[in-house]
Structure 1
């Protein structure tokens, strides 16, 4: 025991292990060697005086929640004991103003920072490695436990219920502690109003229809899509109709066979900017390898689709995916008959979608047909049957403006306009992180008020831990958002020089050269049918948008 104490204490900075107060148990008989090895002064409390070491006594009481008095600790592995220590270190304490011991310990470490001291750098590296190792161990233990629950019990591990199912009360939680705190088990049950749609999707797919054809038929029959049926679970989706991707997700979900599945997608961290490591990481999801997916041994909930039908659908999808369609083969094996100068660069101002090329006998047009909108789309009331824009009229107007903007005489004026037009860069997800942070802090405030009003703190420990974790995650996301960077005049001049001779490209009007020019300046067009105007924007490399508005 003495060796374990020495090994644990020597991991701490010297400033944090000056003294230690023990009781008079025989297990501390080697205190002299401990003091010599660690440099820590050891004191002993008076007999029958627990108030002289209150924090230790309080911790003993917390440990009794996991290990009742008389428990044989040899039954537990070191990893199990580490898990209990981690749980206690992340439990809010009233004596710490409802902060966790881990937070207070981190603040103490920061107060001891001496960046220029080599020992400090080594300490930070060691603590960072220990923290990352513990994080990985916790993740592995939690994942192993959840895999076992799915494999043996078919337990629903939370999250949104698949379309066609709803979550219902499954009785008391199997964990006695969670059950005592009022938690209930959630299980999947069939939603009669939408389960038949899932069966229809599988039947139509096996009959030969594709994803988009099935989605169009569902939209034609005025059947609500998943995000429209459950908007509370799909706040990030518009809910304006079925899409091919929605049908594909249903066809590839094995939970419709009645078995529980877990781990079909996995999280991974990637750099926000590979050229700037300090910008931090972002979490992404990708499909997990088959060996990482866990399936319950027995059916876990009512099935909607037979296993044979689901298997046939997957085999059919693989057969389609391995062969190139005749349309794709034809498209890649021959030269294009028409060139689309503005392909992917024009958007309809009414619906915001990209306009598609539409060749005609006398000219090239770009169109946005209303028939391809989802039946429930709110823009249908204001969208004409089709919006058309003639390419040569747009090309003349755009090229005339570009010739004026990049003319040598107007170069300084263009650079000044680009400098003035720079807008602050808004990091994607920043507002969402702020909202999550505010919600987490509001939850913590409500919990504190409830405790002050007389609610038992033990009943709120789990909820407080979750809110605390959400607050820390939101703060980390906000801290990793890079500050907006504005380019200077020299960088704008350099970007324009890299584009090359714009006047020569416009004078020659060679389609290939014009496409390269539009790509270099990131030309974007937003077309308004009434009053027949186009908002044109360019974005040279490293420069924020500069806009111009002119009739076409």
Structure 2
């Protein structure tokens, strides 16, 4: 039973924050679904809040266009960035102040506005799909990325789990010994009472150790695991194509992005973007068909996106000029970056992600452009 879910003094009964809910010590009835499932469904609903399915035009009469990556671009604050067209270019922006009037504490450390340019992100996505998903060297690139994977945290968790399991086995053995001694003794004997107290202390230690093991298991589930050779075979089911996503029809691109569950996430430091896709094993035929349709619509004489040496484009900037830059500056520049790819068991979805890091400010003080790679697996 949960109390205080809604405010009792407001006219419309505003829903209180879950932190203010009061839970009864014991369940009052059989739950319809487990609490973990309820929490997961609520999280998914919140993640999709304010975003409709599909990419058709909004029903608002003032709608003039659609945005290819609508609902797929995320700000570091967790909000979906919405499309904005300025000076003939499409941007994705996060403007929390516009949606949090009267709540100065919400996103207090958030910049006034964050802009992410669409053509730069689409160019990065095109290079990723061409090289890492449909390219002839995708297997070799994946193997090279796996060799550089840092699994130090996973190995530490495994070592800690083994230590806790040894502790649990020792605690269980000691408890069984105490039970045998207590069975032969007088219940009122001080020694027997001391055994009972020691047994309860060991039980508390077991409970703490089991909770720690559960936390380690949860951390393993949350972290993308390292794929094996059999998992990488999922890539072989996809055709080898050279895609030109920057000039492909929007409806075909949208189908490919939705099938692969594309997500673009801007990092807290504002200098990196992580591009993530998920390839479900049962959706591989649909992904291959969407890619082949895109390939059929493109002329074969085009160059692969992003292959021009030294090319770079404006990725994050406010229309005209970013407010935090010096007068006449153009914002930030997206440079070349390292990439990473992972696979999963063919019966489960797997993610590939691409990190395009280190944009350099073109302000009064320049920062060096660097590269970094991130490898995750789910």
> Per chain length, whose mean CA-contact separation is higher, i.e. which structure has more relative contact order (CA < 8 Å, sep 6+)?
2
| Structure 1 and Structure 2 fold alike (TM over 0.5) | no
TM-score relative to the length of structure 1 = 0.33
TM-score (norm 2): 0.45
Larger-gyration structure (1/2): 1
